[in-house]
Amino acid sequence: MVVHELGHIVLYVRDVAVSRRFYGEVLGWKEIPSPMPGAAMFTSGRTHHELLLIEVGRSAQPVPQGRRLGLYHFGLKVGETDDELRAAIETLKAHNVPVVGATDHGVTHSVYILDPDGNEIELYIDVQPARWKTDPSAVFASARPLRL
C-alpha cells in the first residue's frame, strides 16, 4: 500500500454553527452542501472535501490540555510569502482569534491558533517550497522565533 496524500480531517465540534463561521468566514474555506444534519463540509478546491465537522453537543468533553495521545495540530497552507502570512494574521485579528504561537521552521513560517473547540491549527507558508525535496534534513532545522 502507498498513501498518496492526506485526504480529509473529520472533527467533532460542540456547535456546528460556531465552527461553520470559524472555518468558513475566518479561515475562508468554501462550504459545500451536506445532507447530514448537524454537519458542515469544506473544501479548498483541491478535492471533494478536506474538512468535515460533526456536531456532538455542548456537553462533549473538551480537548485535554498538556501532553496527551491523539491529534496535536493540523497544518493549513495559506501561501508562499510572508505577506500572505501577515494578511492571514490581520484576518485573525479582525475576528479576535488570538495567535498562540509563531515559529520559523526554516522551510516554513508558521503561526498557531485554536479553533472554537480548542483544536490547534498551524497556518503556514512555504518559505523554500522545494528545499526539503533535495535536502530532507531541512525539515528538522532548529525552530526559531518567527519575525515577520
Express each pLDDT in 37-58 by its tens digit.
Answer: 999 999 999 999 999 999 999 9
51 lies in some domain = yes
Domain count of the fold of the chain: 2
- pLDDT for res 63: 87
pTM of the model: 0.93
Mean of the pLDDT values across residues 98-107? 95
Same domain as 89, residue 48: no
- pLDDT for res 13: 98
- pLDDT for res 21: 98
64 lies in some domain = no
Q: What are phi and psi of 83, to 5 degrees?
A: -60, -40
> Looking at 57, 82, 102, which one is the last position of a domain?
57
Same domain as 35, residue 11: yes
Three-class SS state of 114: strand
Measure Cα distances from 55 to 15, 107, 132 in Å. 6, 35, 38
10 lies in some domain = yes
Per-residue confidence band for 9, with pLDDT thresholds at 50, 70 and 90: very high
> Looking at 31, 57, 83, which one is the last position of a domain?
57
Same domain as 52, residue 102: no
Domain of 79, CATH number, reads 3.10.180.10
Three-class SS state of 5: coil
pLDDT at 129 over 90: no
Same domain as 78, residue 53: no
62 lies in some domain = no
Per-residue confidence band for 127, with pLDDT thresholds at 50, 70 and 90: confident
Q: What range defines the domain where residue 52 resides?
A: 1-57
